[in-house]
Amino acid sequence: MGELIVVSIPGEIDEQYAWQRCYLNVELMVRNKAKGLADMTKLEGMLNAVNEIFPMVTKRFSATSPRLLLKGDDGLGFTRWMIRARLVINTTDSYNNEI
């Protein structure tokens, strides 16, 4: 396995009646090249592919404002980058109704 993407919603969700707000994390992991060097070409390719899907907006949720947080070498042979985006979730059934 040379590349990996992990999507998570860390922490707690801030309830605001029908809407919930939190953050969405997308972690990009690529196996380092020889001598522990990061494979920047693969990381940048993954970053561009993920950024193309933002903003994600549906009737049920929206993920916007992605920001890149560099994390670096994980000590296990991978370089990790993290994208953090704002996530708003509609918890009502109103998303089924036409506006």
Tokens 């969405």 — which residue?
Answer: 24
Answer yes or no: are the C-beta atoms of 33 and 10 closer than 8 Å. no
Note the pTM of the prediction, 2 decimals.
0.82
How large is the average pLDDT for residues 7-34?
88
Q: What is the pLDDT of residues 35-67, one digit of tens each?
A: 889 999 999 999 999 999 999 999 889 999 999
Confidence of residue 99 (pLDDT cuts 50, 70, 90): very low
HSE-up of residue 31 (Cα within 13 Å, Cβ side): 5
Q: Where are the domains of the chain?
A: 3-96
Cα–Cα dist 11/64, whole Å: 18
